[in-house]
A and B are shown apart, each in its own frame.
Chain A
Amino acid sequence: MKKIVKTRWFSILFWVVILAAVWEAAAFHVAATKRNPENILPHLYQIIAAAFSTQKVNQSMTATQLVLSSAATTVFRAALGFAIGVASGFVLALLMNLSGIIEKIAFPYLMIIQMIPILGMAPIILSITGSINVSRILIAAILTFYPVATNTLAGFKSVEKEKYELMASYAAKKRSLYTKVLIPQCIPYFFTGMKISAPMAITAAILVDTLQGDGGLGCVLSQSLRHAMSISVFWLIVFFSAFLGIISWKLMGWLEVMFTPQKRHLSKKKQTDGKDVELCTKEKNRSGKSFLKAGVLQR
């Protein structure tokens, strides 16, 4: 028994139960004092009941069907934008590492890009591209691009001088230096970037949905907020989008374990979960950034 209490899962469960209890207590309070309690804070069982109810919320679909079908639209665009962003972020980091000039040009702009409210620009990007689908993919790609590029670059810069010297003493070609040393070493950093950006891509896709009415989670969300359909749909979407954000982040952790055998070994040995390992890479990342500055100075 004591062993169970000490595990991580028990303490997570403990807090989830506490949060649920606080929610329910607040829901009882709201139900007693408000005229439309379901608008403010419905009971958890009401939300679950709404998920399983067979009542149709529009002409053809039940609440769950509607949420799932619009989520499919949103997630598909988010995933496409995410893939484009990851690919271009990686390529830019590679180019920046290959060429000092490109690095000098792009590095300050990478810092500035994160200050631009891309999500705030969504309507303008919509009017430039003219297509909601293209702008959805584009915005998800831009948001993904920045964390992936900076983290991957930090990964390249984290390679120790000794490794370069070793490869030089083998008379290794630049190509094999990259495939044997640099790219394997930057993989954990690359995944850290993806973990940061995956939930952002989902947020971006949902936000762009709210701008125009052609399906997607955000579109249904704003419709239900205006009471165009049952408010239970709103709560389902809130919970489902939170779930999507979390699952996209977890998915990157699982992919990382799949692609890095040494990490799999580590997690077996020390029972460290993805979180701790991710934090380690974030820390390395920090030192990587200062290393990066040093690299600029050396040149």
Chain B
Amino acid sequence: MTTVLYPVLFGILILVLWQTKTLHAILHTDTFTLPLPGRINAIIADNFPTILGNTIVTVRVAILGLLIGSAAGYLIAVLVVIFPTLGQGALAVTSVFTAIPIVALAPVMNNWTKDVSGVVSVRSAVSKIIVVALVCMANMSINAYRGLTEVKPFSEDLMKVLAAKPVKMFTKLRIPNSVPYIFTALKVGVPSSIITTIVSEYFAEYLMGIGRQIKENILMAQYAAAWAYIVTACVIGIALYALLMVVQALVMRNRKAR
């Protein structure tokens, strides 16, 4: 009971402080840079179609990038299990990609994808998707590799004793074992894919997308509108995370025994 009550009370306290401008006094700021929650809500309600359009652009990039990157990462992990000698190095090189700052990756990708399509929205989306995919790929490949190799003790030996073919080894043992690890990777991947999308939108050519709108509105000193997009971004993040939790519960419903 108190587990729910305390955080909710804390949230209400912050909102009240914010709405009564006490928060502004603490932070030495004004309602121009930090608009009241009521005003942000009103802006979201008034501009709902525009915000929705930008949201779709961002969410599409984030999800496609996450899926492509995760699939590629999983494939890498499978290949590493099959070819362990050279694979170890590939895993290390992939993991290095997570450490590369997005700010360095995004402009490079913009340059590389200039010829993909004549349409700005398409080539811009492709460049953003590649950045998101690269960031998610490393995370997935490391987790999936662990899921594919850290099987229950002796189960690998049992498969060998039963003269299981390598393909059977994958379909019956390794891949089922890796499912919880996939979700571990996705839990990190969902927030990071959204943040990566938003940051790479700062550098993108195409003018749609939540990150781009935050930047444009701030350049035009419309902080209230920028806040509306920030709130939207948080809502997207929480919604996608909740969706992931539902999918996880559905997929893993028969695995409670673990």
Contacts and interface: CB of A to CB of B under 8 A. Distances in A.
B100 A117 contact: no
Interface stretch (A108-116, A157-165, A176-184): A108-116
A241 B105 CA distance: 10
Contacts of A101: 6
Nearest to B236: A115
Contacts of A244: 101
Contacts of B223: 124, 127
B86 interface: yes
B16 interface: no
Nearest to A239: B104
B89 A11 contact: yes
Given A40-B112, A108-B7, A279-B146, A117 B104 contact: no
A5 interface: yes
B7 to A, nearest CB: 4
Contacts of A19: 93
A210 B33 contact: no
Residue among B3, B85, B108, B198 with most chain A CB within 10 A = B3
Contacts, number: 157
Contact of A225 (B6, B107, B112, B191): B107
Contact of A123 (B87, B99, B226): B226
A32 interface: no
Contact of B85 (A5, A107, A109, A116): A5
Given A10-B89, A11-B88, A117 B234 contact: yes
Most chain A CB inside 10 Å of its own CB: which residue of B27, B103, B142, B195: B103
Nearest to B13: A105
27 contacts: A8-B89, A11-B87, A11-B88, A14-B86, A15-B86, A40-B112, A109-B10, A114-B191, A114-B237, A115-B234, A115-B237, A116-B230, A116-B237, A117-B230, A117-B234, A120-B195, A120-B198, A120-B233, A124-B230, A127-B218, A203-B102, A203-B103, A207-B103, A242-B104, A245-B100, A245-B101, A248-B99
Interface of B: 2-3, 6-7, 10-11, 27, 29, 33-34, 85-90, 92-93, 95-96, 98-104, 107-108, 111-112, 114, 142, 146, 150, 184, 191, 194-195, 198-199, 202, 210-211, 214-215, 218, 223, 226-227, 229-230, 233-234, 237-238, 241
Across the A-B interface, the 3 shortest Cβ-Cβ residue pairs: A11-B89, A115-B237, A245-B99
Given A15-B90, A109-B7, 15 more contacts: A11-B89, A40-B111, A40-B112, A115-B241, A117-B195, A118-B195, A120-B198, A120-B233, A127-B218, A128-B29, A203-B101, A210-B202, A241-B104, A246-B100, A286-B184
